[in-house]
A and B are shown apart, each in its own frame.
Chain A
Amino acid sequence: MVEYFLTHIWPILSIFVHSLAVLVLLLVAVAFLLLLDRKIWAAVQLRRGPNVVGPFGLLQSFADLLKFVFKEVIIPSGANKFIFIIAPFVTCTLALAVWAIVPISEGWEVANLNLGILYVFAISSLGVYGIIMGGWASNSKYAFLGAMRSTAQMVSYEVSIGFVLITVLLVTGTLNLTEIVNAQKSEYGMFGWYWLMLFPMFVVFFISALAETNRPPFDLPEAESELVAGFMIEYSSTPYLLYMLGEYVSITFMCALTTILFLGGWLPIFDIAPFTWIPGFVWFILKSVGVFFMFGMVKAFVPRYRYDQLMRLGWKVLLPISMAMVVIVATVIFAFDLYPNVATA
């Protein structure tokens, strides 16, 4: 009986508890990151930002949440009800699903997949479905056009993200996110992380991550000042909240992924005494929030791109650079015999 419990019930229970912990912490973190985003934006524009609800406006996101939830859900009469309702769930679920493999510290993840990077890429490439479904089911020209724009944008930038991931895994020789972080461990501390070694790719990844998550300056799908909200135009109340939540969760995921791929994950900046006292997850959170700060600053001071400029940047600038880097990195590894120690099986 005990053995049955240990082999059959316990693993499922443990996965359930792990997932719940990740979800709850993540959603609370997203609430505060949203506030941080608005505060950064406000500070750059010499405003105060949200400061009424709670001390320093700390509870603003929760107030917004309650407001969204208590509003009436409006479904357009011409809409395809089932797909209209299910689309925001698709976005939100997929955004949360990638978090299953993010190692917050050594061994702190729901699942340690050997094909971690492929999983990330597979799930994030599905993110477009939430948008297409929402845009189509709204039965509105504006929503549909917004969805088309958004999909084209996400598909274009996925290509360069793919090449960036390939360069990183050429250097590490593994697709496992935990091993990618461990491969960045060296005596040079923060200068041994890949942001320095693969600096062009770090920049390409940052820009592509902005475009992939529809963040300003690439927020053309929404473009709230010109287009109302693109594919979300017909959405209100909780479904709208789910879209926004999904978007912010994927933004946090992109920050976490940047941290893992280029900023050494949970590793301390230098492997000496005062830095090693701080536990790994604190480093991870600090680095991720740092990347999020950069996301917020870009939003605050870069004007929005035109659509053709966006496409040009994706296909004619970032893609050739990342393709060239794949070739260069592979050549250097081959020429100087720098093959990573590939862990077999």
Chain B
Amino acid sequence: MVAGIFFYIFAIFLIASAIMVISARNPVYAVFFLILGFFNATGLFILLGAEFLAMILLMVYVGAVMVLFLFVVMMIDIDFKELSKGFLQYAPIGTLVGVILLAEIIMVVGGYVYDAETVRSAAVPIPDVNTVSNLEAFGLLLYGEYVFFIELAGLILLVALIGAVVLTLKTGSKALRQDIATQVARTPATAIEMVSVKSGQAFSTNDTIKMNKRD
């Protein structure tokens, strides 16, 4: 009974915050509602006994992805009026995508509910929750049965990571680069130049700048 109450609390908050994500005027609010939505999804996962998935959802999505998302949304200036101009133009396509997604979800979930055979015919049947711990079940599947796929996914991520570095890396003489070794190796003898300035005469700093650049 308690689980039932919690289910409805989490589910209602999840749906409400999902609605708020798409209806909030301020994009920052939308992101905050998305975070609230993730939180409630975590609650639902815990109720289902999928603790590992719940923690990973919290860690990866709420702790990392949404932080970056919030960063971007807070820094750029989004004009919602400008964005919603083409609404009617894109509405049919959007509806189509939505209907297809909904139909697919109904098919998958309906398959589980109405035809228990589908579950058993899966390539790797899901073990009973009571026999193995969450972590073990995941580990055996990811690093046993599907190890090739997880390595492939890792490689794709690595390529994306290197790609991002390559795109933003500046090379050549234009790049301003710090050389930690030379910074640390500076001593008062090389970093400071003592000059005596005669009164009434301007002192040219050009020589000093040249010297410092060499360091």
Could you list which residues of chain A lie within 8 angstroms of chain B, going by C-beta atoms?
Answer: 8, 83, 113-115, 118-119, 121-123, 125-126, 128-129, 132-133, 136, 144, 148, 151, 155, 158, 175, 308, 312, 344-345
Assuming A118-B56, A118-B59, A136-B28, is B134 touching A129 (CB within 8 A)? no
Closest Cβ–Cβ distance, residue A302 to chain B (whole Å): 16
B51 touches A121 (CB 8 A): no
CA distance A139 to B131 in the complex (A): 53
CA distance A308 to B180 in the complex (A): 11
Q: Count B-side interface residues using an 8 Å CB cutoff.
A: 26
Nearest B residue to A114 by beta-carbon distance? Answer: B133
B133 touches A129 (CB 8 A): no
Could you list which residues of chain B lie within 8 angstroms of chain A, going by C-beta atoms?
Answer: 2, 28, 32, 35, 51-52, 55-56, 58-59, 62-64, 67, 70-71, 74, 130-136, 178, 180
- Interface hub of B35, B62, B132, B133 (most chain A Cβ within 10 A): B133
Assuming A122-B59, A312-B180, A344-B136, is B52 touching A132 (CB within 8 A)? no
Query: Contact check: which of A114, A121, A155 meets B67 at CB < 8 Å?
Result: A155
Nearest A residue to B39 by beta-carbon distance? Answer: A126
B28 touches A126 (CB 8 A): no
A126 touches B58 (CB 8 A): yes
Closest Cβ–Cβ distance, residue A143 to chain B (whole Å): 12
Residues of B within 8 A of A83 (CB): 32
Beyond the given A115-B134, A345-B136, could you list 12 further A-B residue pairs with CB under 8 A, ordered by the A residue number? A83-B32, A113-B51, A115-B52, A115-B55, A121-B55, A122-B59, A123-B58, A129-B35, A132-B74, A144-B74, A148-B71, A345-B132
Residues of A within 8 A of B136 (CB): 344-345
A122 touches B51 (CB 8 A): no
Query: Contact check: which of A126, A151, A175 meets B71 at CB < 8 Å?
Result: A151
Query: Contact check: which of A126, A132, A133, A312 meets B63 at CB < 8 Å?
Result: A126
Closest Cβ–Cβ distance, residue B161 to chain A (whole Å): 13
CA distance A83 to B36 in the complex (A): 14
A128 touches B133 (CB 8 A): no
A308 touches B55 (CB 8 A): no
Residues of A within 8 A of B56 (CB): 118
Closest Cβ–Cβ distance, residue A132 to chain B (whole Å): 6
Residues of B within 8 A of A121 (CB): 55, 59, 63
Assuming A115-B52, A136-B74, is B131 touching A122 (CB within 8 A)? no
5 closest pairs, A vs B, by CB?
A: A125-B63, A122-B58, A118-B55, A122-B59, A122-B55
Residues of A within 8 A of B135 (CB): 114-115, 175
Residues of A within 8 A of B133 (CB): 114, 344-345
Nearest B residue to A135 by beta-carbon distance? Answer: B74
Residues of A within 8 A of B51 (CB): 113-115
Assuming A132-B70, A308-B178, is B55 touching A8 (CB within 8 A)? no
CA distance A128 to B180 in the complex (A): 29
B63 touches A122 (CB 8 A): yes
CA distance A8 to B136 in the complex (A): 31
Residues of A within 8 A of B62 (CB): 122, 125-126
Closest Cβ–Cβ distance, residue A21 to chain B (whole Å): 23
A125 touches B59 (CB 8 A): yes
15 A–B contacts, CB within 8 A, in A order: A114-B51, A115-B52, A115-B55, A122-B55, A122-B59, A125-B58, A126-B62, A132-B67, A132-B74, A133-B32, A144-B74, A158-B63, A308-B178, A344-B133, A345-B136
Nearest A residue to B73 by beta-carbon distance? Answer: A136
Nearest A residue to B57 by beta-carbon distance? Answer: A122
Residues of A within 8 A of B178 (CB): 308
Residues of B within 8 A of A115 (CB): 51-52, 55, 134-135
Nearest B residue to A151 by beta-carbon distance? Answer: B67
CA distance A136 to B56 in the complex (A): 27
Nearest A residue to B70 by beta-carbon distance? Answer: A132
Residues of B within 8 A of A308 (CB): 178
Residues of B within 8 A of A345 (CB): 130-133, 136
CA distance A123 to B55 in the complex (A): 9
Residues of B within 8 A of A126 (CB): 58, 62-63
CA distance A312 to B181 in the complex (A): 13
- Interface hub of B59, B132, B136 (most chain A Cβ within 10 A): B59
CA distance A118 to B42 in the complex (A): 13
CA distance A132 to B178 in the complex (A): 29
CA distance A335 to B132 in the complex (A): 27
Residues of B within 8 A of A8 (CB): 2
B28 touches A125 (CB 8 A): no
Residues of B within 8 A of A114 (CB): 51, 133-135
Residues of A within 8 A of B59 (CB): 118, 121-122, 125
CA distance A171 to B28 in the complex (A): 42
